[in-house]
Structures are given as C-alpha cells and as structure tokens.
C-alpha cells in the first residue's frame, strides 16, 4: 500500500488528516514512561548484581541488557498491541476508500454513480482494551509476547553495552558522570544501531499483533510462519521495512530518556512532591 516513508506520510494525511499521524499517541504517552523506567532501572539493577569491584565484562553487560529487555515486556506488549490496533484502523479505512473508488469504474458500463465508502469504526484505546479483555482475557493484551521478547531482548543486549561504552568515552575522569550532551548523543547512536539491528523482529511482531487484515493480506500462526511467508512473498528486503523511520524515532527517544535518567530529574521531582518547598 505504501512505497516509501514519504508516500505513507502523504497518503495518511490525505485520508485521515494531519492528526491521523498521531493515532496511538495516547497509549504511548500513558505507557512509555513506566516502560522506560522499568527498562533503565532493571538494567542498572542487573549491572550492579553482575559487577565485581565495579567492573563489568562485555558478556555481563549483555546479560544485564537481556534482563532489562525481559522485564520491560510486561508493559511493552500491551502498549504495542493497543497502538498497532489504533494505527491499523486508519490503514484499513484508507484501503477501503481506495477500493470503493476503484469500484466506481465498471469495465463494461463505464463510470458508475459515486458510492460512499463503508464507514469504519475508529475505536479508542479504552474500548480496545475492554474488548480484548472481555473476548480473550488477559492473554488478548499479551498477544505477540514471544515476538516482543525476540525484539526487545536483543535490542537491550545491543543497546546497553553500546551506550555504556560510548558514554564512558565522554567521562572527564574515572568515576565522574559524562556531560549531559554526551549521554544524549550516546543514547541516540546506541538506540539507532539497536533499532536497525532488530528491525526484522519488529516487522514480524507488528504483523502478528495486527488483528485486522486488509485485502490479500496473509494470516499467521506464529513467529516462524510469519517470517517464512514474508520471505516467500515479499523477499528479504521486507524485513528492513521501516528501519529508517524507527531509527529516526528511537534515536531522540533514548537520547532524551538517558539524559533524564542520568541527571536524576525523576528523583528530583519525586523529592519535591514528598518534601514540598515552603
């Protein structure tokens, strides 16, 4: 349906308006903070447990990242599940509009009277969560858990050791914190590299978590079945779809998250709430 990122942008704005680009943003705003908090805190916890005299080998850094990625899926899976359904609603609606327009042209009788495209309900995140819980139970929100693990665990294994070593390069002296801009740049670079590295798993995860199917779209029975069908019908390049866009999003996201975390902004705010200034 889309040939490139810019083509997707134009078609989405044309069919859904400018705010169609922000479908699913409410879910992200609600859940991305606890997700990142769990991810960063878990990584620090595992690094502390695995360190010996304050030193970590590369293997132990990777193990700490593995633990962090495993912990975060508690929040990541339902967040991604709801976000994908909200974004898919717009994609399916756009596809139906295109099909309705094509149906107006008859190969035998010429142009037909304009027909209204069937209206597609646009559910909210709350409605989606309630429907999934009622129809499938808690497992409905955790559909694609295995695929999410296969994406987020390798992501953290790549991201955290890479960030730690890049951030260490900017330390003025051993034991001192790097300047905030070094943490920001290290987060950007490490986030982009990790996002591109695990993009094939993200493609498969997104297909598995999509409950609505467009015309001629495959159904999948699991991770391997999905990967096999993508490879057979779309070729190896399909596994890199959206990699450029993900890198653009992940870079500032993790850069900002690391700056906030390393500057202790969260702890400062919590301290103000607990001990308000007179």
What is the Cα Rg of the chain in Å?
22
Residue of higher predicted confidence among 107 and 253: 253
The C-alpha atoms of residue 264 and residue 206 are separated, in whole angstroms, by 34
Helices (H), 25-144: 25-50, 58-103, 125-136, 138-141
CATH architecture of the domain covering 5-102+124-270: Alpha/alpha barrel (1.50)
CB atoms within 10 A of CB 97: 16
Confidence tier at 197 by pLDDT (50, 70, 90): very high
Among 99, 95, 122, 118, smallest CA distance to 1 is for 95
The per-residue pLDDT of the chain, averaged, comes to: 82
> What confidence score (pLDDT) does residue 131 get?
87
Look at residue 19 in the predicted model and tell me its pLDDT: 74
- Report the share of the chain in percent with pLDDT over 90: 36
Average pLDDT of span 17-26: 77
Say which residue, 264 or 191, is predicted with more confidence: 191
Distance CA 197, CA 156 (A): 11
Query: Could you state, in order of their start, the residue ranges of all structural domains in the chain?
Result: 5-102+124-270
Closest CA to 179 of 191, 165, 168: 168
pTM: 0.80
What's the rounded Cα separation, in Å, for the pair 270 and 275?
8
Separation of alpha carbons 55 and 103, rounded Å: 66
pLDDT band, very low/low/confident/very high, at 6 (cuts 50, 70, 90): confident
Largest CA distance in the chain: 82
Residue 273 has pLDDT above 70, yes or no: no
User: Residues 36-54: pLDDT tens digits?
Assistant: 889 988 998 999 899 887 7
Which candidate, 130, 132, 148, 131, places its Cα nearest to that of 140? Answer: 132
Separation of alpha carbons 97 and 117, rounded Å? 5
Does position 93 have pLDDT exceeding 80, yes or no? no
Alpha carbons 157 and 177: distance in angstroms, whole number:
22
pLDDT for 103 equals: 65
pLDDT given for residue 113 in this prediction: 52
Q: How far is CA 181 from CA 189, 209, 252, in A?
A: 12, 36, 12
Kindly indicate the confidence band of residue 117, based on its pLDDT and cuts at 50, 70 and 90.
very low
| Residue pLDDT, tens place only, 120-170 | 556 788 888 888 888 888 888 898 899 999 999 999 999 999 999 999 998
pLDDT for res 2: 66
Mean pLDDT, residues 67-82: 93
């Amino acid at each position: 349906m889309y040939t490139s990122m810019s083509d997707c942008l134009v078609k989405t704005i044309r069919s859904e308006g400018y705010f169609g680009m922000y479908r699913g943003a409410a879910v992200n705003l609600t859940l991305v903070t606890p997700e990142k908090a769990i991810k960063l805190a878990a990584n620090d916890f595992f690094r502390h447990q695995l360190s010996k005299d304050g030193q970590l080998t590369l293997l132990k850094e990777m193990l700490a990242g593995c633990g962090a990625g495993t912990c975060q899926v508690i929040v990541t899976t339902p967040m991604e599940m709801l976000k994908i359904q909200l974004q898919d609603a717009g994609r399916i609606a756009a596809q139906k509009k295109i099909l309705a327009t094509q149906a107006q042209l008859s190969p035998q009788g010429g142009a037909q009277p304009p027909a209204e495209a069937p209206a597609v309900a646009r559910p909210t995140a709350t409605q989606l969560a309630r429907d999934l819980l009622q129809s499938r139970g808690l497992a409905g929100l955790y559909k694609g858990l295995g695929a999410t693990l296969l994406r987020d665990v390798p992501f953290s294994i790549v991201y955290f050791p890479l960030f730690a070593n890049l951030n260490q390069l900017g330390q003025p002296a051993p034991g001192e914190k790097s300047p905030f801009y070094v943490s920001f740049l290290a987060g950007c670079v490490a986030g982009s590299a990790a996002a591109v590295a695990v993009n094939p798993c993200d493609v498969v995860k997104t297909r598995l978590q999509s409950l609505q199917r467009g015309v001629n779209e495959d159904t999948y029975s699991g991770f391997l079945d999905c990967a096999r069908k993508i490879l057979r019908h779309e070729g190896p390049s399909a596994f890199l779809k959206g990699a450029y866009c993900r890198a653009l999003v992940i870079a500032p996201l993790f850069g900002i998250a690391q700056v906030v975390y390393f500057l202790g902004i969260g702890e400062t705010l919590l301290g103000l709430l607990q001990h308000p200034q007179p």
